[in-house]
Structure 1
């Protein structure tokens, strides 16, 4: 009893004197290049993206070719989906502010090159899409510009060709420094050209065969784990049927569901995502900066006949997570560890899938339901900063006790370490209960400065249950520092 009193007193003092922190996250800028109509998954991903149009600044939606659609583009299909969005935009705006009118989004639809791959790169190969990329880079805006490539990348390659030829080296370097590229594998031969020609270009990709793609964690079924949230029945119930015209236009799965979506998932402000740090992991996966060996890239796998070459330099590419989820426990502590562990590069996306699928379903509800009828995400508040520095071997405490829910829903908590995201890879055990709003830990004994990442998930009990996070980066310094 005395130990419990002591712990309670410590928590009370900690929460009273802890500083408040800001939750503001800047919107990310985004241009999408899509071979829409080559596969229904581009249409699926565009439907989802539009539900986050108030949280991401969409500056371009460009129709392109790819190895799966080499000689034509389909901007009309983009307009049709945006028209459906326009019919639900007034209802979406009842739930969160900032949803742009359909006319604003239709105005940024562009046509990219109608040629395939490097045939569309060079003198006289400009397109409205490549021009739009250059104009966006030249805007007086200090934020990075993300280009998410769902098909072929040659429209982006042409923009870089033009910048390289028309600007001074200093001007070109300034523009390229603002660019962030995420391509869903290589769907034409311009990707390897860009990574070779522009060695400093920030580039996320799983090169090689599609079986090597981190993005496949979007729809992969992990043996021994529940995959209900990507089943056809789940999609029909939560997305397609009874959710208005935007849900109705979401097509059935033909190959893999939403293979392009990981390219923008990490741009959504949810307290976990850190777009400038692919190595930290988030909804769109985790990536490390290195030069992959050709033999590790599934060189004999399916690529649609796009050649697979040895990468010439370090890129942001596949990283491996090991993840043991928790499952609901009928009695006692409300969660318990799953009896299986998922390990691999797909795991870096898959581990968050139930959370982001529920988030998708809730936003689709927003398109058809009143505010009172729908669920809205909790707001996570730390009782301290999101960066803590402690001495080797010392104790520390973390709390999200001030979190709240806009709908008044009950909240659940889950604290865990993300070893792969920090420099210290060993497990640091957290005390009290991992599903309590406040936990404590003891720093390891270190001889050099190390970092450890801890995540708190706050989940409401609405329908569907929604999750938001905060990441706490703990820096452990040697005692003689």
Structure 2
């Protein structure tokens, strides 16, 4: 069986991916997609690297490998998508994060999202976002009418950090969207402390993939073959049961409705006494000199010291001496930051705040108000996998998913 539950109709999907950026797990997820692509009506493959150097060439390279393996795959399934048909769907989206306003200029990728969403169909277009929301935000800005034709499944978490401005635009201006925000449940796919030995993420390659065609040889390039595939739960969700019901159990997770997205706005910095929930949009305002810069100019830097080391984030001029930066922490920790700019009269400022687990946390006056179709990770304590909220809604199916995939790797041996 490919799926636990039948899918009512073959879903229309468009994948927005940051493949080729800083995290090579997207290459693993694209390999998985290609080996199951006959299950979907695929309408777009958009390169959307909000951070890093990704481009649609990485998508084309993966399709080249798929083309070489296709004869063996077709011995088992006849209706695999032709490589040239997939190549026509590859589009280049925005490179780099959106500015403070959340959008910038149309791209080939954002225009393609609009075009696909406007097709006449009795089905919605499922937009599976594996990186930042920049091209989705741009498409919605340019064509607000498409909000009623699309459903979004977003792998958030760390992607939310890189894409905080685009997310803020979408959640503020399009609360009527149908939207799954998976900030942590996806961790269940590579959480393997209780897995059988051959299904450990660092053992699976040798047990099932080694020697399996061109895609299998390529797989070794990413994390040395260690299975991560953090974006794959979005595909698994489309393969198991009715995707219109996010409350159900599914290979791709089970979710709950939420009515507000946490946002905290601080003026003049923060201290250790300030606490936010993980994944909250933290908006920091600093006063500085009034300068002759266009509004939304990136003009200062927030250097963040966190568990993973130092990362730097651009801040923007909002006019009238107001300097703004957004940050969305991905886990419980204490964040220490320093704000600086090469602008005469802009004082270096330092601060801290505490991030606690348990999304979305207590309501606050700055929260974004959501419509009736926003869903996110289940908060039940027994569904945490370590610190990852809701991850057991995915990890419970990990064995079934990987054994099912192993059969397809065997086709390529």
Determine the C-alpha separation between the residues in 2 that align with 1:265 and 1:120: 33
* Structure 1 position 42 matched with structure 2 position 26: yes
> Structure 2 length as normaliser, TM-score?
0.68
* Structure 1 position 55 matched with structure 2 position 55: no
Residue in 2 that maps onto 1:445: none
Q: Give the drift of 1:151.
A: 1.1
* Gap regions ≥5 residues in structure 2: 264-275, 283-305, 314-325, 329-365
**Residue pairs, 1:272-351, within 5 angstroms:** 273-290=241-258, 291=260, 295-297=276-278, 307-308=327-328, 310-313=367-370, 315-320=374-379, 345-351=390-396
1:136 to 116, 120, 136: 116
**What SS does the corresponding residue of 1:183 show, helix, strand or coil?**
strand
**What SS does the corresponding residue of 2:253 show, helix, strand or coil?**
coil
Point out the more displaced range, 341-350 or 82-91: 341-350
**Residue pairs, 1:378-393, within 5 angstroms:** none
Contact 1:29 1:56 in 2 (8 A): yes
* Structure 1 position 366 matched with structure 2 position 411: yes
Q: Give the drift of 1:26.
A: 1.1
Determine the C-alpha separation between the residues in 1 that align with 2:133 and 2:49: 8
Seen in structure 2, the aligned counterparts of structure 1 residues 288 and 59 have a Cα distance that, compared at 3 Å, is: same
* Structure 1 position 215 matched with structure 2 position 199: no
> Structure 1 length as normaliser, TM-score?
0.59
1:197 to 163, 170, 173: 173
2:87 to 86, 95, 106: 106
Residue in 2 that maps onto 1:155: 135
Seen in structure 2, the aligned counterparts of structure 1 residues 264 and 302 have a Cα distance that, compared at 3 Å, is: farther
Contact 2:38 2:81 in 1 (8 A): yes
**Segments ≥4 residues shifted beyond 6 Å:** 300-304, 321-324
**Residue pairs, 1:377-416, within 5 angstroms:** none
Q: Give the drift of 1:256.
A: 7.2
Residue in 2 that maps onto 1:267: 238
**Residue pairs, 1:348-359, within 5 angstroms:** 348-359=393-404
**Residue pairs, 1:224-243, within 5 angstroms:** 226=196, 228-239=198-209, 241-243=210-212
Determine the C-alpha separation between the residues in 1 that align with 2:307 and 2:231: 17
Residue in 2 that maps onto 1:392: none
Greater fraction of residues in strand: 2
* Matched length: 309
Seen in structure 2, the aligned counterparts of structure 1 residues 32 and 120 have a Cα distance that, compared at 3 Å, is: farther
Determine the C-alpha separation between the residues in 1 that align with 2:60 and 2:175: 36
Contact 1:232 1:253 in 2 (8 A): no
Contact 1:323 1:351 in 2 (8 A): no
Contact 1:73 1:111 in 2 (8 A): no
Structure number with the bigger relative contact order (C-alpha 8 A, sep ≥ 6) is 2
In our comparison, the structure showing a higher alpha carbon Rg is 1
Seen in structure 2, the aligned counterparts of structure 1 residues 351 and 158 have a Cα distance that, compared at 3 Å, is: same
* Structure 1 position 64 matched with structure 2 position 48: yes
1:247 to 207, 216, 222: 216
Contact 2:197 2:203 in 1 (8 A): no
* Structure 1 position 97 matched with structure 2 position 78: yes
Q: Give the drift of 1:84.
A: 0.5
* Gap regions ≥5 residues in structure 1: 1-21, 165-171, 208-212, 325-340, 369-481
Residue in 2 that maps onto 1:77: 58
Determine the C-alpha separation between the residues in 1 that align with 2:7 and 2:131: 33
**Residue pairs, 1:416-427, within 5 angstroms:** none
Q: Give the drift of 1:88.
A: 1.4
Point out the more displaced range, 225-234 or 75-84: 225-234
Contact 1:322 1:342 in 2 (8 A): no
Q: Give the drift of 1:206.
A: 3.7
